[in-house]
Amino acid sequence: MGDYMSKLEVDTIEPEGVSTTLTLGASGDTVTLGSGASASGFDSGLASVQVFTSSGTWTRPSGITKIMVEVQAGGGGAGGSVGASSYIGGDGGGAGGYSKKFIDVSAISSVTVTIGTGGSGGTGAASGSAGGASSFGSHCSATGGSAGTHGGEIGPAGGVGSSGDVNLSGGAGHCNHHNYFGGGGGSSVFAGAAGGAGGTQFDIPGQDAGINSGSGGAGGGYDGDPGGDGGAGLVLVEEYK
């Protein structure tokens, strides 16, 4: 064949079992589809998306054969502060882990979805609580972020994803800064970190809780602020025909 561009024009495709010859342009070059030739995939592609922010059941829609699942666990709650006399802030909570998996659901009708809650922030010298685990049945899961403490020296670890095609750890929480500011929460795959609170003169309203899915809560400032709650997890399901 010479060096030229060809346009494929087809008026009909014969039923399966019939040999079909396609002619390419004026050159007369041909391609023959032998007996049994067929074409498929014209209805393929992303058909719908479901987002779970609370536990429930995923039910396979009609025609769906494959799904891409993203699982985000809950973030850990942050540590609190006892007051100005201590000059010690709380540490931020760790972010929840993350897992992503491509699943053939041709033979699956439904799957149990579990959403991890965000951990609660601590008050006074108390630590926060860890974030909850999230999962998509037995296919993939992730553990919640660790809780922040009061005045710790090592930031709490993030959770860990497992059984997915991609498994990631959540960001670690941050220690209190120079004993005055609370440490920032760890960042999740879906979210940035929550900023740590400062003392009364440095307070940053609205930034003490996990502001998005799976992020860790921010530590309380030195003047007695409570630790922020961690962000709740989620499960996102992309559905393909």
Q: 175 versus 179: which is more confidently predicted?
A: 175
Residue 124: per-residue pLDDT = 83
Structure tokens at 222: 């030195």
pTM above 0.85, yes or no: no
Residue 226: per-residue pLDDT = 85
**Is residue 193 pLDDT above 80, yes or no?**
no
- Mean pLDDT, the chain, integer: 79
Query: Which of 236, 227, 187, 176 is CA-nearest to residue 211?
Result: 187
Residue 224: per-residue pLDDT = 76
171 burial type by CB count under 10 A (0-12 exposed, 13-18 middle, 19+ buried):
buried
Residue 42: per-residue pLDDT = 40
Residue 57: per-residue pLDDT = 98
Name the E strands within the chain: 20-24, 29-33, 46-52, 56-59, 66-72, 98-104, 110-114, 134-136, 140-142, 161-162, 166-168, 234-240
User: Which residue do the tokens 């009061």 mark?
Assistant: 150
Partners of 66 in beta bridges: 104, 240
**Is residue 24 pLDDT above 50, yes or no?**
no
Alpha helices in the chain (DSSP H): none
Tens digit of each residue's pLDDT (9 = 90 or more) over 74-92: 999 998 887 666 667 888 8
**Is residue 15 pLDDT above 60, yes or no?**
no
Q: 193 versus 134: which is more confidently predicted?
A: 134
